Structure 1
Amino acid sequence: MNVLVVNAGSSSLKLRVLGEDDTVLAEHHAERWTGETGPLEDFLSTAPPVHAVGHRVVHGGAAFTSATAIDDDTRTRIEALTALAPLHQPRALAGIDAVTRLLPGVPQVACFDTSFHTTMPAAAATYALPSSWRRRWDLRRHGFHGLSHGYASRRATELAGRPGARVVSCHLGSGASLAAVANGRSVDTTMGFTPLAGLVMATRSGDVDPGLLVWLQRAGLSLDDLEDGLEHHSGLAGLSETGGDLRDVREAAESGDERAVLALQVHGHHLRQGIAAMTASLGGIDLLVFTGGAGEHDPVLRAETVAGLAFLGLELDPGRNAEVSGDTRVSTSPTEVWVIEAREDVEIAAQTRELLNHRVRPAPQPCAPGR
């Protein structure tokens, strides 16, 4: 079964056709995509036959805990979650609609970034909010980047030969999050009800004192301006007054820009703090995994992060870290550090095939930290 994987980001579009053995038969990456059909139509005109389509959908809420066949009802329920992931959900819907027009009759499957984190224990998933609020709006920590965390943590444990390992997975790109994974199950993560929480990101703030947000509203900032500022003008962009790309921020810092220097310091502080917190949720760490654009391609980021976490028994091999190619162990310490190529497409294709082949996956069960 050839599976077309449609990975629609907040502004980009990644397309791949994977064969039965996950060989990449065709691919296309558009850095800028606003939802138009053209790129998909052009790609499909030369791509091999497609038997099924798997879509990455960022937010599944409480309704979607596993891959789900797409029909009119599924699309409507995905659209209803747009307010919780305003940067991503509209793009996923645009991809679904484009494929529906271009490949009528080909089965489509939605694969959710949130579903991997449904195994988090209640202590990690529950907000300390009034119970009436939690019941009315089903408020909980959902977590995101689950397709990436699931693949990267599994791949690293396979390569390390440690299937039951306690893994802290670091998905670091324009969006960024950490996950604590034990026995292949998520037990904690840095993102929450929306993809805005957790680490400092390219344009997103990450964790902010909720009292500060209340104060800003009382000071006269509108809800629309607050949302726009937190989503599009915060993070590395807000600190450095650049576009937020980590490469540009690092270049500015190296030229002596004090704003960029501070941005890197704040970014690194929260990253190290988050890794230590995920380690605490696991009761220890066996593998630290870097994935995503920055995680894979920024050796300075990895070196600085690991240097600040030496107390966890982490030590890099400078040579390996500087010359990463593919999936690579970059540590000399017993607590291993791995760089794993982000392959959400493999995870999406696997979930798509599994659903369409009517294989029943056991319902995920919460597991205690450290098990």
Structure 2
Amino acid sequence: MNILVINSGSSSLKYQLFKMPSKSPVCSGLAERIGIDGSFIKHTVYNKEDKHIIEQTSFISNHGEGLKQILKLLTQGEFAVITSPEDVAAVGHRVVHGGENFSGATIITDDVKQQIKKLFSLAPLHNPINYKCIEVAEETFPGAKQIAVFDTAFHQSLPEEAYRYAIPEWYYKEHGIRVYGFHGTSHKYVSEQAITYLKKQESKIISIHLGNGCSISAIKNGKCIDTSMGFGPLSGLMMGTRSGDIDPSVVFHLMEHAGYTLDQLSTLLNKQSGLLGVGGSSDMRDIRKLLGEDDDAAKLALDLYAYRIKKFIGTYAAVLNGIDAIIFTAGVGENDSAMRQAVCKNLNYLGISMDDDKNLKYKGEILAVNELDSQVKILVIPTNEEYEISSQCFELLKV
């Protein structure tokens, strides 16, 4: 069964084609700078021993045009992987916000589309683009089932004391003000990999997703019971450009005493803070280079970043009443051994003890980097959100 996975951003469109149940993609690609000068698509076709990379540069006016160009790459030329759109059984869409309505993969109907539209205000940068790609895919792959997999779905298992805010109930009932959580597809995938690795269905796991966006989740027996991102993706850990947790009084102060508008505050906290605001760059690799030049701001940025993660590990150890494993995943979590080391340093009281030599040896496969006598496993697990989306689509269609 051919399943095409689409993961769309505001100016990008990532995709992978899987011949399920195989975990290895047939092809993958990325359309970047959609609607911006310098648009391009990088398309990679895999076979057993090699891969073929096709790069094409031409202006892509919108996501619909991007998907049409991707269809040509899939069906035409020497490295075509399907003969026509009819070869695709399903298109799996990453949809960022599903509110309280969706706790799993869902076949897209007119009613589902209307519910996604109603959530535009909760994810204004993502849900409108996700919706547009659904409409385009319905036209481009008319015979395929269109399936939505929601970032928020994995967190629908949170208990009420974890998802409710301490404000009057009216705001929850009338405006949906609650914790929704994000990165759910990633947390679900890596925690299931950890459970298999541990051979322990009854487990207490802390999953740490560190990319440009960062979140941490407490997962008990495969179910999420708390997570750091809340009503939107701004809260919790320090991120590439987002502040993470901040006292709301700061917002009131800047509005009252510095004349900040809501737009200015949104820009400050979402686009000018985090690693960028403290250290001068949103890219962890750039911060590491600055650290090598004895840059004090870079050092502070790294210290803040690690400290915030430590605080949540302690919090979630209490919520879970113990820890079997912590997971590092995503771009920074998988590739920055020094950050993993900084986070795990001086956590012996929780039974967390890292083997620094093992930590340096991670090469892209699941690896335990803890000392042999560490009570808690420290796992580095590469996330695979596209496969997780494909897998959920496959299981849904099998029913």
Query: TM-score normalised to the size of structure 2?
Result: 0.85
1: CA distance, partners of 2:385 / 2:301: 29
State the match for 2:393 in structure 1.
352
Is residue 138 of structure 1 aligned with residue 176 of structure 2?
A: yes
2: CA distance, partners of 1:62 / 1:257: 45
Which stretch shifts more, 79-88 or 33-42?
A: 33-42
Q: Match for 1:72 among 87, 110, 114?
A: 110
State the match for 2:129 in structure 1.
91
State the match for 1:235 in structure 2.
274
State the match for 2:327 in structure 1.
289
SS at match of 1:37: helix
Is contact 1:6-1:13 (8 Å) kept?
yes
Distance 1:105 1:132, change over 3 A: same
1: CA distance, partners of 2:316 / 2:71: 41
Q: Match for 2:160 among 88, 111, 122?
A: 122
2: CA distance, partners of 1:88 / 1:256: 38
The alignment's C-alpha RMSD in Å is 1.8
Is contact 1:272-1:308 (8 Å) kept?
no
Query: Structure 2: 5+ residue runs without aligned partners?
Result: 36-61, 75-80
| Structure 1 residue 32, shift from structure 2 partner | 4.3
2: CA distance, partners of 1:222 / 1:300: 38
Is contact 1:5-1:349 (8 Å) kept?
yes
1: CA distance, partners of 2:335 / 2:159: 33
Is contact 1:173-1:295 (8 Å) kept?
yes
State the match for 2:68 in structure 1.
41
| Structure 1 residue 256, shift from structure 2 partner | 1.8
SS at match of 1:280: helix
Which stretch shifts more, 87-96 or 275-284?
A: 87-96
Q: How does 1:207-218 map to 2 (within 5 A)?
A: 207-218=245-256
2: CA distance, partners of 1:11 / 1:297: 25
1: CA distance, partners of 2:242 / 2:301: 13
State the match for 2:379 in structure 1.
338
2: CA distance, partners of 1:39 / 1:134: 38
| Structure 1 residue 69, shift from structure 2 partner | 1.7
Is contact 2:20-2:394 (8 Å) kept?
no
Query: TM-score normalised to the size of structure 1?
Result: 0.91
1: CA distance, partners of 2:34 / 2:367: 31
Any idea what the Cα deviations from partners look like across 1:114-137, whole Å, max 9, x if unmatched? 111111111111100012222221
Is contact 2:13-2:63 (8 Å) kept?
no
Paired residues in the alignment total 357
Considering only CA atoms, is the larger Rg found in Structure 1 or Structure 2?
2
Query: Structure 1: 5+ residue runs without aligned partners?
Result: 360-371
SS at match of 1:228: helix
SS at match of 2:236: coil
Q: Which letter maps to 1:345?
A: E
Is contact 1:178-1:278 (8 Å) kept?
no
2: CA distance, partners of 1:260 / 1:83: 35
State the match for 1:23 in structure 2.
24
1: CA distance, partners of 2:175 / 2:376: 41
Q: Match for 1:305 among 328, 331, 343?
A: 343
Q: Which letter maps to 1:2?
A: N
State the match for 1:205 in structure 2.
243
Is contact 1:166-1:282 (8 Å) kept?
yes
Is contact 1:4-1:54 (8 Å) kept?
yes
2: CA distance, partners of 1:131 / 1:277: 25
Is contact 1:179-1:186 (8 Å) kept?
yes
Q: Which letter maps to 1:147?
A: T
- Give the percent of matched residue pairs that are identical in Structure 1 and Structure 2: 39
Q: How does 1:160-179 map to 2 (within 5 A)?
A: 160-179=198-217
Is contact 2:155-2:180 (8 Å) kept?
yes
Q: Which letter maps to 1:93?
A: Y
| Structure 1 residue 12, shift from structure 2 partner | 4.0
| Structure 1 residue 13, shift from structure 2 partner | 2.9
Is contact 1:13-1:32 (8 Å) kept?
no
State the match for 1:365 in structure 2.
none
Q: Match for 1:277 among 294, 312, 315?
A: 315
1: CA distance, partners of 2:296 / 2:269: 22
State the match for 1:7 in structure 2.
7
State the match for 2:260 in structure 1.
221
Distance 1:9 1:324, change over 3 A: farther
